[in-house]
């Protein structure tokens, strides 16, 4: 046998051995696979048999784990769970309150729901629980006495009005350097509707905790120190207190700056800066009370040289407090420095202690004599007749203002109508006028035959006064 034949025979033997070896390996794979399948099948069937009466692993009813339990066991477990159910209300500052099952007569509507869940799971679908919770979780319907729950919520300590701290927006504090922002107050006031709804939801889902903070049950301030509106308010307040308004009263003055203005500023309920008009008007009335002279008693040096006290009448300075209140508020809002006089309803000759000045009519009713001075010089003087004392028509004392002057007027009253050439009223229907029907003036005529209150004058005296006097001139009347 040649070499080639020997090699061929050797190769055949090698191939036979290799084929036999591969066949053995293939048979082993088949046998192994079949064995594994049988084992897995046995396990699957065994587990299926188990789950034919037990809940799938991971099964939950109202968040309660019921894995591997039978329906009967679940009935008992859930009965015990609901009986011991307690909802914890987690409040601020580490406080908490509870609502217990017995407080509201909590119970399950029907235990048949547990059985329905088990039937839904079946015996052979347990692998699906690995991929889906639809067949392993359920929410069992519960019932309770709604009136008892509402009563329980109403009686919670956190809703006690005596313990409630209202939330507050940021506030503003005035200092020598201007306004500073003070942080908002969170308080502990609760939105009762939100709390109640979250409690109902938690009970329905079997949850055991309601965190009032997390669930936004607390009423929050509308604005915080970081709010744009807070910064805007601070800037506006500082603008207002930067104002400086100086009122002048002759050689006297009153200055209003931030130290006073800050007391008139406030942030209203809408978180808007406003000037308290009532407080500004109170200040303006005080200012008027200090500097207004209308009706006040003054020292007056008479033509006879004596110094007397004369009060009453309507002459003097009178501030228009209402209008000036608005002017002052407008000046504050501009944030500027202003020097000005207040707005007056009526003015006088000067702001000195003698605001009568040196142009006036003086009527000494005790002496029944009149003097008229203009710019310090005596223009005219003469005897007069004033109101009839015996009939209660005495001419009133006081310092008055000439209201106007009129030529050829007719003075009318009860039982009389008297035409005059010169009419100069200063106190209602009382005035200075010529009285040509009188032959004499002065003396004590006024006591029994006086006027109805007017100052009856000789024609020349009334004419001279009329031709030289102006509206607003003070008329000083005294006894």
For 241-300, write each residue's pLDDT tens digit. Answer: 999 999 999 999 999 999 999 999 999 999 999 999 999 999 999 999 999 999 999 999
Is residue 433 annotated as a catalytic residue, yes or no? yes
For 368-399, write each residue's pLDDT tens digit. Answer: 999 999 999 999 999 999 999 999 999 999 99
| CATH fold label, 69-109+138-226 | Ubiquitin-like (UB roll) (3.10.20)
Give yes or no for residue 19 having a pLDDT over 90: no
Q: Which stretches of 292-335 are DSSP H helices?
A: 321-334
Among candidate residues 54, 158, 217, 433, the one labeled active-site is 433
Residues, the chain = 479
CATH topology match: 69-109+138-226 vs 239-297+312-346 = yes
For 65-81, write each residue's pLDDT tens digit. Answer: 887 778 777 777 777 87
Among candidate residues 158, 217, 454, 477, the one labeled active-site is 454
Please enumerate in sequence order all residues whose Cβ is within 8 A of that of 438, keeping only pairs 6 or more positions apart, or say none: 385, 445, 456
Give the Å distances, CA to CA, from 177 to 3, 236, 242, 261, 380: 119, 14, 11, 14, 63
| Res 6: pLDDT | 59
Give yes or no for residue 470 having a pLDDT over 70: yes
Between residues 124 and 419, which one has the greater pLDDT? Answer: 419
Residue recorded with tokens 């799971």: 121
What residues does each domain of the chain span? 69-109+138-226, 239-297+312-346, 360-478
For 433-446, write each residue's pLDDT tens digit. Answer: 999 999 999 999 99
Nearest residue to 333 via CA among 273, 267, 288, 286: 273
Q: Tell me what the pLDDT averaged over the chain comes to.
A: 90
CATH node for 360-478: 2.40.440.10
3-state DSSP assignment of residue 104: helix
Q: Is the domain covering 239-297+312-346 a CATH 3.40.50.1820 domain?
A: no
The count of C-alpha atoms lying within 13 angstroms of the C-alpha of 364, restricted to the half-sphere facing its C-beta, is 20
State the Cα–Cα distance between residues 387 and 368, nearest whole angstrom. 10
Give yes or no for residue 12 having a pLDDT over 70: no
Measured between its terminal Cα atoms, the distance across the chain in Å is 179
State phi, psi for 207 to the nearest 5 degrees: -75, 150
State the Cα–Cα distance between residues 217 and 198, nearest whole angstrom. 9
Give the Å distances, CA to CA, from 340 to 248, 284, 335, 343, 456: 6, 14, 15, 9, 43
State the Cα–Cα distance between residues 398 and 360, nearest whole angstrom. 13
pLDDT-derived band at 211, boundaries 50, 70, 90: very high
Is residue 454 annotated as a catalytic residue, yes or no? yes
């Amino acid at each position: 046998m040649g070499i080639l034949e020997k090699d061929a025979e050797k190769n055949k033997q090698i191939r036979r051995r290799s084929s036999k070896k591969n066949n053995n390996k293939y048979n082993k794979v088949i046998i192994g696979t079949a064995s594994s399948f049988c084992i897995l099948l046995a396990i699957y069937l065994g587990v299926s048999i188990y789950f034919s009466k037990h809940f799938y692993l991971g099964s939950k009813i109202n968040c309660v784990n019921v894995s591997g339990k039978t329906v009967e066991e679940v009935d008992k477990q859930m009965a015990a769970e609901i009986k011991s159910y307690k909802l914890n209300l987690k409040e601020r500052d580490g406080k908490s309150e509870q609502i217990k099952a017995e407080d509201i007569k909590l119970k399950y509507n029907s235990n048949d729901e547990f059985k329905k869940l088990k039937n839904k799971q079946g015996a052979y679908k347990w692998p699906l629980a690995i991929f889906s919770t639809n067949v392993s979780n359920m929410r069992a319907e519960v019932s309770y006495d709604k009136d008892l729950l509402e009563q329980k919520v109403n009686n919670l300590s956190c809703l006690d009005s005596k313990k409630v701290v209202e939330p507050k927006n940021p506030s503003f504090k005035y200092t020598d350097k201007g306004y500073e922002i003070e942080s908002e107050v969170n308080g502990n006031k609760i939105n009762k509707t939100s709390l109640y709804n979250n409690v109902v939801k938690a009970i329905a889902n079997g949850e055991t905790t309601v965190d009032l903070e997390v669930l936004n049950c607390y009423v929050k301030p509308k604005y915080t120190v970081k709010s744009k509106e807070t910064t805007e308010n601070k800037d506006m307040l500082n603008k207002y207190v930067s104002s400086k308004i100086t009122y002048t009263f002759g050689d006297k003055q009153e200055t209003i700056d931030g130290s006073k203005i800050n007391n008139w500023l406030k942030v209203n309920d809408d978180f808007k800066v406003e000037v308290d008009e009532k407080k500004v008007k109170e200040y303006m009335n005080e200012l008027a009370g200090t500097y207004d002279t209308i009706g006040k008693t003054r020292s007056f040096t008479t033509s006879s040289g004596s110094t007397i006290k004369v009060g009453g009448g309507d002459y003097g300075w009178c501030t228009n407090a209402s209008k000036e209140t608005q002017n002052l508020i407008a000046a504050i809002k501009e944030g500027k420095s202003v020097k000005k006089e207040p707005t007056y309803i009526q003015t006088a000759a000067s702001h000195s202690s003698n605001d009568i000045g040196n142009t006036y009519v003086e009527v000494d009713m005790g002496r029944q004599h009149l003097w008229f001075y203009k710019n310090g010089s005596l223009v005219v003087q003469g005897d007069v007749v004033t109101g009839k004392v015996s009939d209660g028509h005495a001419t009133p004392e006081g310092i008055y203002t000439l209201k106007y002057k009129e030529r050829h007027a007719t003075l009318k009253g009860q039982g009389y109508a008297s035409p005059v050439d010169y009419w100069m009223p200063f106190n209602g229907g009382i005035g200075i006028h010529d009285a040509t029907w009188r032959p004499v003036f002065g003396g004590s005529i006024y006591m029994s035959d006086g006027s109805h209150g007017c100052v009856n004058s000789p024609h020349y005296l009334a004419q001279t006064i009329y031709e030289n006097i102006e509206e607003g001139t003070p008329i000083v009347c005294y006894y």
